[in-house]
Amino acid sequence: MKIDGLRALEVLDSRGMPTLKVTLEADGRAGSFFVPAGASTGKAEAKELRDGGARYGGKGVRRALAQVTGLRSALRKREFAGQAEFDAFLLKQRLAGNSSLGLSGAFAHAAAAARGLPLYASFGKGRKLPRPMVNLFSGGLHGGGNMAVQDILIVPLRARSFAEAMEQVWRVYQAARSLLGPRFDYLPNWVADEGGFAPRFSSVEQALDLTVLSIEEAGLKPGSAMAIAMDVAASHASKITIATLESWAGNYPLISIEDGVPEEDWAGWKALTKRLGGIQLIGDDFFATNPERLRRGIRERCANAVLVKMNQIGTITQTLEVIAIAKKAGYRTVVSARSGETEDWTMADLAVGAGAGQIKIGSIARSERLAKYNRLLEIEAELRRVQ
């Protein structure tokens, strides 16, 4: 693939914060990628480059933009065999995480377009739609501290298609919306960073009880047709013990817990996995989509699943490497969005092409979330036509 052009633009994400849009041309075709950003970030993540100063409260990305465009002359007319070679070039430049991912993602789009392939085909041979884990109630840093854990999510278990899964999720979401008014001083059109409702719960148990009731009101059986997942984000929470998690898992149809103990508590992760390893235990801040941290976790029998966020590691190739390592070890993979997202839908294609099996986008509100869900609906329809 020969690079023909490169440009970058400072744009805004779903939280109104600046981020990068990078556009790259290869073999006469252009591809663009918007870089996401997180609110709850792990210490081991690839570091963003922000401007500092007064402009945008120091959150501007003009310095990162300059890193990207500073490579224009070095890249112009240069040829790369594929994504891996391009990303290897980026790693040698020692770029900030947002600069590197912007370039890597834009190359993926341009290369797929130049080859006449759907984007998911450039990520692997996977063609199955992922199971969605959908945000229903938000807390922690996403919901303004209204409950101790960061997210309570719903997970369709028996849907025969992605489209059917989304319809079931819609029913639960609408049931929750109707239940909120009589129980809380809360308007249901108020939603948190990822589109979930964020009333001020008196306890996590109250939120779990309301989730079960919403599933039932939607005409679905909790634990059979629809289960519950939880993102604790323990590095940003407090007073949630393994015994507490064990109690919730025993009393509710809870099939997945993310970051149940803090990110550097390796002994805690071993203990959690030993006691609750029968359900899905996802490492997010713990693994930070980092191949070496994941390998260590596998060796030490910590967790049994990894959350995959492209901007935690900085390139498409490293992201795919993490998915491959996890699969080889029998760990599950969940491709995930960030709290600061855009209309970019690359992660939907990544989840399909890499055969991730699960995806965590947010709720079914806010257009930056729906862009990904709608892309998955398009992919499902396209794959059915091919078959």
CATH number of the CATH domain containing 23: 3.30.390.10
Q: Are residues 34 and 137 in the same domain?
A: no
The pLDDT, as a whole number, for residue 235 is 83
Catalytic-labelled residue, pool 25, 45, 48, 194? 194
Q: Are residues 105 and 144 in the same domain?
A: no
What's the number of domains the chain is made of?
A: 2
Alpha helices for 314-362 (secondary structure H): 316-329, 346-353
Q: Are residues 108 and 219 in the same domain?
A: no
| 249 assigned to some structural domain | yes
Question: DSSP labels for 227-248?
Answer: EEEEE--GGG--S--HHHHHHH
The pLDDT, as a whole number, for residue 40 is 63
CB distance 161 to 384 below 8 Å = no
| 125 assigned to some structural domain | no
| 84 assigned to some structural domain | yes
Structural domain of residue 370, as residue ranges?
A: 131-386
The DSSP call for residue 75 is H
Active site residue 92: no
Q: Are residues 30 and 112 in the same domain?
A: yes
| 123 assigned to some structural domain | no
Q: Are residues 368 and 221 in the same domain?
A: yes
CATH at residue 334: 3.20.20.120
Structure tokens belonging to residue 331: 């760990």
| 122 assigned to some structural domain | no
The pLDDT, as a whole number, for residue 143 is 64
Q: Are residues 171 and 140 in the same domain?
A: yes
Q: Are residues 55 and 186 in the same domain?
A: no
Q: Are residues 83 and 229 in the same domain?
A: no
How do the pLDDT tens digits run along the chain, 387 residues long?
Answer: 999 999 999 999 999 999 999 999 999 999 999 999 987 667 788 999 999 999 999 999 999 999 999 999 999 999 999 999 999 999 999 999 999 999 999 999 999 999 999 999 999 999 999 999 999 999 877 667 779 899 999 999 999 999 999 999 999 999 999 999 888 888 888 898 899 999 999 999 999 999 999 999 999 999 999 999 999 999 877 789 999 999 999 999 999 999 999 999 999 999 999 999 999 999 999 999 999 999 999 999 999 999 999 999 999 999 999 999 999 999 999 999 999 999 999 999 999 999 999 999 999 999 999 999 999 999 999 999 876
Active site residue 194: yes
Catalytic-labelled residue, pool 21, 45, 263, 309? 309
pTM: 0.96
Q: Are residues 41 and 136 in the same domain?
A: no
